Amino acid sequence: MTVARTIGDYLIQKLYAHDVRHVFGVPGDYVLSFFHKLESGDLQVVNTCDEQGAGFAADAYARINGLGVVCVTYCVGGLKVANSTAQAFAEKSPVVVISGAPGTNERIKSPLLHHKVRDFDTQLKIFEQITVASTILDNPQTACREIDRVIDAALQHKRPVYIELPRNMVSITAVPYYLPQEIPLPRDNNVLNEALLEATEIINASVKPAIIAGIELHRYGLQDEFVQFIEETHIPVASTPLSKSVISEHHPKYMGIYEGAIGCEKVREYIESSDCLILMGTFMTDINLGMFTAHLDQGKSIYATSEKVYIHYHTYEDVSLSAFLKGLLNGRINRCQPAESPHPEHPQSSQPVPGKKITIKYLYQYLNSFIGRNTVIIADTGDAMFAAMDMTIHKETKFLSTAYYASMGFAVPASLGVQLADPTLRPLVLVGDGAFQMTGMELSTSARYQLSPIVIVLNNGGYGTERPMLDGHFNDVKSWEYGCIPDIIKSGRGFDIKTEDQLEEALQLSSQYTKDICILNVQIDADDKSLSLERMTKAFAKYV
């Protein structure tokens, strides 16, 4: 890396310094000069088919890498990633959206430049709604400071930010800035200390403590500390749909996923009868709470979030999950008496019966035995995700989904971000036919960059999550020959799966075929669904 001289260089160096190595996007004339600068520098440009794919890929990259970037042109590119940016906001994924824009010198008298909507700041105003910080780099005096402010906000809040880069600013010399040396304020640890003291007393006085481990443990990089905490205290742990695999599902204190009345009954019983329930960075969302069938007693709960800690009905402001967890680790939590806590049932694989029609149940059982230590499962919205709740994930963070925002079409482009962020992982993508038809052709991008996801299309001819709630032709999806997609993109292998033995054969071939994409068109009945989805849609249907 050379010394930054221009605004464009400074932005690239800042991203590089935070471990970004790939930028996902589609070029356009307002951002061409910045793409050119990217290509001649240390960050790899990853061209997706559509900006939507780039947005989802950057989100997944951020979840694995700690920061992700999507780079697009003004409005026609930027507004195509409004949805993926909203998802990153909702599920706390630090994505930097960089949008090219008309030069400041082109904006005088507000001419009707192409791609403009209403005013020159229309796109900025939209992104203000779905990011934690935003800026237009229209001033060389402040550009470096603004880049720092905005990217630091992404890192702090684990949420997306927006940087608009007028094209004439890319190569303008940036004015360095000097922060006045900060005089460290004497830190007020009184709030934290009182919270820790009270929490420690409550936990130690309890007879049946339990933990629900949330997704913020992952987002804030606290999984090692968390495992240490569990191993010191022996408190049993459940996760949630969104935080599945935040702790290894083989860990002896792991109970399973808590989803209120619609999840595993043993886990529900244990959690809801706990006299001291500790929620660590848990999102209290409808899906996580089993469509509000959860019965969690706030009067017996300690709830730590990235911003504050709630103990019973009072709040300790400005105590972070990180400080709280580390404080507990250094404190004096008693080791929990060995209590009978549930363990997840690890699904048993059964031998394929030649010619036997494949079902969702068999598919997921078989996949569970197929996945290896380097598999990362990426589940799209719908039964692709709900059915996967019962799979056993071997290591931490090997399961990605959007179990809160639940945007269809995430999984295929997400596999780009995941495998580029960690090339030791091979993605296993689980995706319904409806979601595949939204973004599945991004497999072309996987092939272009020599990536090798195995994609399982759950082909049931429609929106399987909606059918049980309220059905009609609007839930139908046109039948595609998904196994022929390699013929279009001239890469990879496709398989048609109707029976158990065909699945076994295809997965064996896929596991040997490691250099390219594999796509399995798994044909299941329209009314076949997992028990997990059945329970969830029953709860959902009440609201439709």
Q: Which is nearer to a second copy, 396 or 466 (CB)?
A: 466
Does 539 interact with a second copy (rule: CB under 8 A)? no
By CB under 8 A, is residue 261 in contact with a second copy? no
- DSSP strand pairing (493-497 vs 518-523): parallel
Please identify, using beta-carbon distances, which residue of 254 and 283 lies nearer to a second copy.
Answer: 283
- Span of 277-285, 307-315, 338-346, 358-366 interacting with a second copy by CB under 8 A: 277-285
Contact call for residue 490 and a second copy (CB under 8 A): yes
Of the candidate residues 6, 16, 49, 526, the single one contacting a second copy (CB under 8 A):
49
Binding a second copy (rule: CB under 8 A), the pick from 14, 92, 107, 115 is 115
- CB nearer to a second copy: pick between 87 and 452: 87
Q: Is 286 in the site for a second copy (CB under 8 A)?
A: yes
User: CB of 376 within 8 A of CB of 428?
Assistant: yes
- 99, 165 contact by CB (below 8 A): yes
The answer to the question of residue 441 lying near a second copy (CB under 8 A) is yes
When binding is defined by CB under 8 A, the residue of 10, 13, 27, 464 that contacts a second copy is: 27
Q: Which 240-259 positions form the footprint of a second copy (CB under 8 A)?
A: none
Burial-class residue 526 by CB neighbours within 10 Å (0-12, 13-18, 19+). middle
Among 1, 5, 42, 114, interactor with a second copy by CB under 8 A = 114
448 binds a second copy (CB under 8 A): yes
Site map 74..93 versus a second copy, x via CB under 8 A? -xx--xx-xx--xx-xx---
Residue 138 and residue 104 in contact, taking contact as beta carbons nearer than 8 Å? yes
What single letter denotes the amino acid at residue 246? V
Which of 12, 70, 130, 153 lies at the binding interface for a second copy (CB under 8 A)?
130
Decide whether 33 or 419 has the Cβ nearer to a second copy.
Answer: 33
Residue from the set 175, 205, 207, 484 that interacts with a second copy by CB under 8 A = 484
CA dihedral in degrees (196, 202, 205, 209; nearest 10)?
-100
- Report CA-CA distances (Å) from 182 to 70, 185, 186, 304, 537: 33, 9, 12, 29, 54
Residue number with CB closer to a second copy (407 or 530)? 407
Is 109 a binding residue for a second copy by CB under 8 A? The answer is: no
Pairing of strands 314-317, 308-311: antiparallel
Select the residue interacting with a second copy from 243, 245, 306, 445 (CB under 8 A). Answer: 445
Least distance between a second copy and beta carbon 35 (Å) = 5
Crossing angle of helices 190-205 and 321-330, in 10° steps, is: 60
* Alpha carbons 400 and 418: distance in angstroms, whole number: 9
Helix (H) or strand (E) segment spanning residue 272: helix 265-272
Q: Packing angle between helix 321-330 and helix 223-233, nearest 10 degrees?
A: 40
Q: Which of 137, 165, 277, 406 binds a second copy (CB under 8 A)?
A: 406
Name residue 497's amino acid. Answer: I
Residue 498 near a second copy by CB under 8 A:
no
Asked if 478 is part of the footprint of a second copy (rule: CB under 8 A), the reply reads: yes
Note whether 284 binds a second copy by CB under 8 A: yes
The residue among 320, 304, 306 whose CA lies nearest residue 199 is 304
* Residue 287 within binding range of a second copy, rule CB under 8 A: yes
Contacts of a second copy in 165-194 (CB under 8 A): 167
Beta carbon of residue 125, minimum distance to a second copy (angstroms, whole number)? 5
Binders of a second copy among 336-395, rule CB under 8 A? none
C-beta closer to a second copy: residue 270 or 404? 404
Q: Considering only the stretches 177-185, 340-348, 384-392, 474-482, report the one whose residues sit in contact with a second copy under the rule CB under 8 A.
A: 474-482
Q: Kindly state the number of chain residues that form the binding site for a second copy, as judged by CB under 8 A.
A: 86
Least CB distance to a second copy at residue 267 (A): 21
Output the smallest distance, CB 315 to a second copy, in A. 16
CB of 492 to a second copy, least distance (A): 12
Q: Is 298 in the site for a second copy (CB under 8 A)?
A: no
Q: At what angle do helices 32-39 and 7-17 cross, to 10 degrees?
A: 50
> How far is the C-alpha of 271 from the C-alpha of 285, rounded, in Å?
17
Residues 6+ apart with CB under 8 A from 443: 412, 453, 455, 485, 489, 492, 517, 519
Q: Which of 150, 56, 12 is nearest to 420 (CA)?
A: 56
Q: How far is the CB of 540 from a second copy (least distance, A)?
A: 6
Stretch that binds a second copy, among 59-67, 105-113, 214-222, 298-306 (CB under 8 A): 105-113
3-state secondary structure of 422: coil
CB of 440 to a second copy, least distance (A): 8
Cα distances from 422 to residues 54, 177, 201, 450, 544, in angstroms, run 17, 34, 41, 14, 40
Query: Rounded to an integer, what distance in angstroms lies between the CA atom of residue 318 and that of residue 306?
Result: 9
469 in contact with a second copy (CB under 8 A): yes
- Closest residue by Cα to residue 120 from 106, 131, 130, 133: 106
Toward a second copy, which CB reaches closer, 338 or 472? Answer: 472
C-alpha–C-alpha distance, residues 336 and 505, integer Å: 47
Answer yes or no whether residue 36 interacts with a second copy by CB under 8 A.
Answer: yes
